[in-house]
Amino acid sequence: MRIPVKTEAGWGYVDEAGVEVIAPQYQAAGAFAEGVAGVLIDGNVAFIDEAGEEVIPPTFAPASRYGDILWKRPFVGGHVALKSEGRVGCINRAGAITVPFVYEYVGTFVDDRAVVRSKVGDETAYSVLNTEGDVTVPPGYDMLGNQYWDGRLRAQRKHEGQRQLGGGSLQDWRWGFLDRDGNEVIPLEYSEVDDFSEGLAATANWQQPSGSSGAGRFGFVDADGREILPFRWDWAFPFEDGLAVVKDGRGLQAYGLIDRTGSLLVPMIWSSANPVGAGRVCVGDEDDRYGLVDRAGNLVVEPSFTRIGEFRDGLATAARGGRQQGWRLVGARFGFIDPAGNEILDFSWDGVRAFHQGLAAVREGGLWGLIDRTGRVVMPPTYEDLRW
């Protein structure tokens, strides 16, 4: 096991007992996947093996300032996007260039397809490439989704429409879906669409699409564009684990969950509702307190936490107290709960991250370490950061 950790000397790697296996020396370091990890050296990305030997030298910069490849699986689909002289392209695991460095953006290869964005004069152009570098969807759309989901890709064209919003005229945005060959399998007639998930996509239109049940409302269609759930919600989100969040009404207390038949399982009385695994849904009230309901809508844990995360390895991160500052929760104490809401591990930490392979990252006094499921400290909090 190789765990990226940050010290005053830079990023390096330790094992689960905290024993150094690759000396701290990098500006950033990511998790190992399939035997390689991305590291940052003088602003460029190199790839190393588990012995710390370079397998691809630091020739190219990260593709974005977020540097996703540094802490996620780098060669998704066999390629990784990097940047050279301000332009984005891709290399493979052998370090060979597979997508030329001519684009503003190159997405993740999914089903051997990647969305790319480039400039043509003053215009932004979107297209799709296969793994051989051939164009499968030529420029012609004003926007495309980031990647294929369930074999479908969001596509958009705009035109001057007559839709009025707040007394002003807006440009119409028309969305639909493409297949892997670039065919418009779902016509571009929706004003709102989300990516496919579990075989369904949330869609809506201010004007009634052909064959749909309601204008200005959200419903769900399948991969062939057939209406599966009627257009009756003010907002709808992708299905996850057989559930989808829906909203009705313009107040804050208006979120609930439906199943694939459209049956309302969790009533629309919450300010937020999100599936978190283990048969539980995290719900929030108007005071930003969070609890848990089961898939039948029964309240299992009263809203009393200031944060609840997803269940991993049977436990979820949770927080008590603190105050929200932007996306950060300041002054809270963090711990772990089970699906019944029992506090399995003491809320004694400044910060925690989800369990993974029986271990979880915890922060104390601004430094990070690891604990096991019993709460035993297996790596004392001594690192400025770690990725786990």
Tell me the torsion sign for CA atoms 343, 349, 352, 358: negative
Domain membership of residue 90 (yes or no) is no
C-alpha distances out from residue 68 to 10, 65, 81, Å: 18, 8, 10
| Residue that finishes a domain, picked among 14, 44, 74 | 74
Residue 248 in domain: no
| pLDDT confidence tier of residue 96, bands split at 50, 70 and 90 | very high
Q: Is 71 a residue whose pLDDT tops 80?
A: no
Establish if 37 belongs to a structural domain.
Answer: yes
125: which strand partners? Answer: 118
Rounded Cα distance between 127 and 125, Å, is: 7
CA angle (343 as vertex; 338, 344 as ends), nearest 5 = 70
Task: Confirm if 102 and 89 have CB atoms less than 8 A apart.
Answer: yes
Number of domains within the chain: 2
Average pLDDT over residues 296-301: 94
The verdict on residue 233 lying in a domain is: no
Tokens of 86: 């301000």
The last residue of one of the domains, among 74, 91, 121, is 74
| 388 domain residue, yes or no | yes
Q: Note the pLDDT tens digit of each residue in 210-253.
A: 455 555 689 999 999 999 999 999 999 999 999 999 998 766 66
Within-domain flag for 1: yes
351 in a domain, yes or no? yes
Provide the domain limits for residue 376.
309-388
Residue 201 has which token pair? 């996509």
| pLDDT greater than 70 at residue 163 | no
- Is 53 a domain residue? yes
- Calpha distance 220→208 (Å, rounded): 14
pTM beyond 0.85 = yes
pLDDT band at 201 (very low <50, low <70, confident <90, very high): very high
Res. 317: pLDDT tops 60 = yes
Element (H, E) at 347: strand 343-349
**Residues in CB range of 380: below 8 A, 6 or more apart:** 18, 369
Query: How much is the average pLDDT of 275-279?
Result: 94
